[in-house]
Structure 1
Amino acid sequence: MKIRTELVAGTPVRFGVRSVGTPFAVTRDLAPLTSASFARIEPQHKRYCVVGGRVVSVLLESGLDQLFAPNSLLHQRLVTLMRSQTSRGRQRASVDVTTHRYQHFPLRSVQLDGAPWFLTADVTRVLGFSRTALHRSPHTRLWHHSGFTGARSLVHADGVRELVGKRMPLSHQFAIWFEADVMSCYDDTAVHAA
């Protein structure tokens, strides 16, 4: 989940989008901006999410009316920032997914920021690793796409090569196929852009 921090009336507030596409603001960050009690927020307007490795309370857009006057500048600014999170998610979702086939396994890829990224689940399945093999790898990122439920973990081509190296010589055939058939589809600048 990507978290973005914005200054609102001089206060840093963290914003994000839940896996179901709902934007939120971290409740604790909003506290200095209002004198209203957070206890009065109805349960359907708040959730709990993992932000920065910690479970925190977050406020959905529908709950802003309970803390801020609906037509105030502060309310409008918060709504704009929350909605911009959703539009960013939609921009990412418009990316085409390409499916390559290795034997009978699908290997889905997308091009983000000019570089090829592969679904981690597909890569680990093909190479016989558990899905946690790339946990905390610098070559992975989360991605939201309308064709999938929730966020998907992606791995950059460099992360794929790293895993292949751990399975040599068993994965030698895959390595040849990956470089010749898959990576040759991308220009050289895209391959090393991440």
Structure 2
Amino acid sequence: MRVKGVEVPGGDLRKVNPADVVRADFEQNPGTYDTSDSVYEQTVERLDACAEEDSGAQERCPVLKAYYRDLTGDGEDDLIVGVSTPDDNLDIRVYAEQDRRLTQIMEMSDAVLGVELAGRDLIIRAVSSLPGYEYHTVWSWDAHQKTMLPKRDEIVRSSDARRPKAPRPAPSESGTR
């Protein structure tokens, strides 16, 4: 989806303010949110704080540190941004410049445990409803669809999950009476 109203000087996404990109995108492309939903409304309000000059407002800004990586294979860095939402989820959006236009190429929201970059893949680790497990979703560029798509989705044992205790042997009833 195209993001209007944000210029990309010289096609370099490192020269744009990630909060400006996310704010414009949230207003134009709510993604997985219902725009009448209070989480969406609260997130947009918090995004407005990113534009304010005072330090208190900046602390309320939900946009996390941006990362840059060529995920599309075009030789240009793409912009990867996380936005913490009031429902304790993380909204992850990826942007590329395509045909001189700023374009959202990925959006997902979940209870994210971690995000990893591996080559041109983006790996999202998220909470699972199964105790002791987590979801791993690998997102990759699809040149035909011109978007990031989930390439692999798996449920794996969490690295910090408690291991089941080994059963203790039952007391023996050896010949002592």
Greater percentage in strand: 2
Give TM class, smaller chain. Answer: under 0.3
When normalised by structure 1's length, the TM-score is 0.23
TM-score of the superposed pair, with normalisation by structure 2? 0.25
Highest Rg: 1 or 2?
2
Structure (1/2) with the larger helix percentage: 1
